[in-house]
Amino acid sequence: NTTIMLVELIGGLFAHSLALISDSFHNLSDTMAGVLTFYTYRLSLKDNNRKFTFGYKRAEILSAIFNASLLIGLAVVLFKEAVVRFYHPQIVKGSIMLPIAIVGLVANSISVLLLHRHSEHNLNVKSVYLHLVSDALSSIGVVSGAVLIYFYKLYWLDPVFTILIASFMTYESVKVIIETVNILMECSPSWVNVSDLQKDIESMPQVNDVHHMHVWRLSDRLTLFEAHVNIKDMPVSDTKEVRSRIEKMLKEKYKIDHATIQFEYGEHKGDGLIKEHFR
């Protein structure tokens, strides 16, 4: 990416192509994002300790927010420069712009294919993947614009493609930021219906009710659950079977990785920390 960035930057300056210069800075942000992602991934694998009892798994979430925010900032700059270029157009040298844009497209497409398989289950990797996808799309736009500029002298297409690139970058980055903020705010995962989950537990024959129930994600790969479960009168040794049934259901149906269950006995049916709005 660093090599591509330098080639596109120099070529863009010589060709007077804002789209090519935009693509070069986009590649620079990819390089920075890749380095940060690698570091935070290694950090997230470290064991928990007395100070960080949950470990360092949210380092990747912070990295994803930073990467996406960086991309939005870059998009704002590109949009501003494109608007200026509309009012102060420059002649773009398509003969220089076209071959460099093709090289950038090929390189970015290869990067996207290599990272696609790993981007589905990791927000940090996904944020880098989005950098590369937007790079590839911007390269397509630059190549298309270069062809039209070279053959038809449509110089106004250069800022148009720049605005399209910036819009896509912003759209995809906002989606990543929303998901990461939801994790930091400890929202329930989108695939978990909290009301249904509560009913599934309370439908078990040994369970009276469930309260103080929480479902949240520590990271994009680790979902946690905790609850107070009011059970029927039984020996403590028999609660092991109840716990196993609940944990199995949580894992298989709701993809919950770790559950903390506090058993109680009595008539108490508390409001819990979750009110009854979701019923």
Confidence band of 117 (pLDDT split at 50, 70, 90):
low
Determine contact, residues 215/194, Cβ cutoff 8 Å.
yes
| Region class of 248: left (phi > 0), else alpha (psi between -120 and 50), else beta | alpha
For residue 126, what are its two tokens?
């996904």
- Whether 135 has a pLDDT exceeding 90, the answer reads no
* Poorest-pLDDT segment among 89-98, 182-191, 255-264: 89-98
Q: Quickly count: other Cβ atoms within 10 Å of residue 119's Cβ.
A: 18
> pLDDT by residue (tens digit) across 68-86?
898 898 889 889 988 888 8
Residue pair 215/224 in contact (Cβ under 8 Å)? The answer is yes
Q: What domains can you pick out in the chain, each with its CATH number?
A: 2-184 (1.20.1510.10), 194-278 (3.30.70.1350)
According to the model, what pLDDT value does residue 278 have? 45
pLDDT tens for residues 237-264? 999 999 999 999 999 999 999 999 999 9
Please report how many Cα atoms fall inside a 13 Å half-sphere around the Cα of residue 277, on the Cβ side.
3
For residue 238, what pLDDT is reported? 92
Residue 6 has pLDDT above 50, yes or no: yes
Residue 127 is predicted with a pLDDT of: 67
Stated pTM of the model = 0.74
